Amino acid sequence: MIDQINAILPQTQCRQCGFQGCRPYAEAIASGVADINQCPPGGDEGIIALAHLLNIDPKPLNPQFGQHKPKSVAFIIEKDCIGCVKCIAACPVDAILGAAKFMHTVIASECTGCELCVAPCPVDCIIMKPLPTPLDKEQSLIQAQKNTTAQLAKQRYDARCLRKENESIENAERAKQRRAALVKSQLESQTV
């Protein structure tokens, strides 16, 4: 059920629902902790799909979590970037390229429009640019593209979560080894 709910969610990974990403929100819906109307990027379309899946009545988007708005992508005004890497740390899908003290740039095709990189930038050089509104005849093509983009965002989010988990396991292991080495050297000095 969690996977089915997660498949409906837009994978923007913006945390507006009050959870750390789409999957944690899917888990909260499945366990009855969260309601189905907390995802602004999914909007009415998403709420109706969730209601259908869960066999319950749809309800309006709860404005406490934000408003539905057209998709946009982040853009870095590169001449102003000071290379602080704060945006990279904030991006949930690794859509920003750059290194410390070097100019950064957004990979537009990977950006979900979550806006999480905007606030941490100390020099306000990240802006959101709305995507052009599609013509009616392009709608089905755009929908197919949206589905593919959501799947890619989900894969990038999952990969980032796995990387963070591995990093914290490695850090814990290193700390354990340092503690063991310290205890050993203390014992040796006591013996001497």
Q: CA-CA distance, 32 to 46, in Å (whole number)?
A: 17
In 18-138, which ranges are continuous DSSP H helix? 22-30, 43-54, 86-90
Which x/- pattern, by CB under 6 A, does the window 87-126 give for ligand SF4?
A: x--xx-x-xx-x-----x-x----xxxxxxx--xx-x-xx
Answer for the pair 93, 134: CB distance below 8 angstroms, yes or no.
no
Q: Which string of DSSP letters, residue by residue, matches 70-87?
A: --EEEEE-GGG-----HH
CB of 88 to ligand SF4, least distance (A): 7
- Measure the CA angle with vertex 184, ends 178 and 185; round to 5°: 90
CB of 33 to ligand SF4, least distance (A): 13
Which x/- pattern, by CB under 6 A, does the window 151-190 give for ligand SF4?
A: ----------------------------------------
Residue ranges in 39-58 that form contacts with ligand SF4 under rule CB under 6 A: 39-42
- The count of other CB atoms within 10 Å of the CB of residue 50 is 22
Q: Which of 5, 8, 12, 34 binds ligand SF4 (CB under 6 A)?
A: 12
Q: Is the CB of 83 or the CB of 134 nearer to ligand SF4?
A: 83
Of 150, 109, 160, 155, which is closest to residue 8 (Cα–Cα)? 150
- The count of other CB atoms within 10 Å of the CB of residue 66 is 15
Q: Which stretch binds ligand SF4 (CB under 6 A): 29-37, 83-91, 129-137, 177-185?
A: 83-91
Q: How many residues does the chain have?
A: 192
76 binds ligand SF4 (CB under 6 A): yes
Residues of this chain that interact with ligand SF4 (CB under 6 A) are 9-10, 12-17, 19, 21-22, 25, 39-42, 74, 76, 81-87, 90-91, 93, 95-96, 98, 104, 106, 111-117, 120-121, 123, 125-126
